[in-house]
Amino acid sequence: MKPRWRWTIWFVLFALWTIGLTRPIPDFTEIVGDEAMQYRFHLAKTLHVAVYAGLTVLTTWLRAPMRWRVALMFFLMAHATVTEHIQLFVPGRIGHLHDVGWDNLGVLLGLVVSWKWWSAEEK
């Protein structure tokens, strides 16, 4: 696949995730009930970890020079912090520092999963 397409896929997924994190969320408690809402926390945190891990793996897939891959990894960690801060001003959202920790856990897991490619010598 051409590098341009790799970057396009990375940016589209990144943009969709950013939109998802910064848009208002209605209260679904009346619709699904309290029992279903107790699983929302676990589902949301699992999604956070999985998406940031996936973006970290995709960062490797870009085949950018190592300095750019490392910069993008730190960019993802900064993105986690900034989107949580933005959520403080979005109706129905609550930004938490512990969410930043979950997001960064995802970055770490993505790094572990793709370490073979992260540590490979540049061509």
- Average pLDDT of the chain is 88
Q: What are phi and psi of 63, to 5 degrees?
A: 60, 35
Check if the beta carbon of residue 21 is closer than 8 Å to that of residue 76: no
Question: 120 is written with which tokens?
Answer: 């490979």
**pLDDT > 70? residue 113:** yes
pLDDT of residue 9: 95
Q: Looking up tokens 């897939």, which residue turns up?
A: 61
Of the pLDDT bands very low, low, confident and very high (cuts 50, 70, 90), residue 123 is low
pLDDT of residue 80: 95
**pLDDT > 80? residue 121:** no
Taking the C-alpha atoms of residue 81 and residue 110, their distance in angstroms, rounded to an integer, is: 18
Check if the beta carbon of residue 99 is closer than 8 Å to that of residue 79: no
Q: Which of 110, 102, 108 is nearest to 84 (CA)?
A: 102
DSSP-derived letter for residue 95 is -
pLDDT of residue 122: 58
Q: What pLDDT digit, counting tens, does each position of 22-70 carry?
A: 999 876 666 666 666 677 788 889 999 999 999 999 999 998 898 999 9
Per the confidence metrics, is the pTM higher than 0.85?
yes
Taking the C-alpha atoms of residue 78 and residue 80, their distance in angstroms, rounded to an integer, is: 5
Check if the beta carbon of residue 65 is closer than 8 Å to that of residue 121: no
R_g of the chain, CA atoms, integer Å: 16
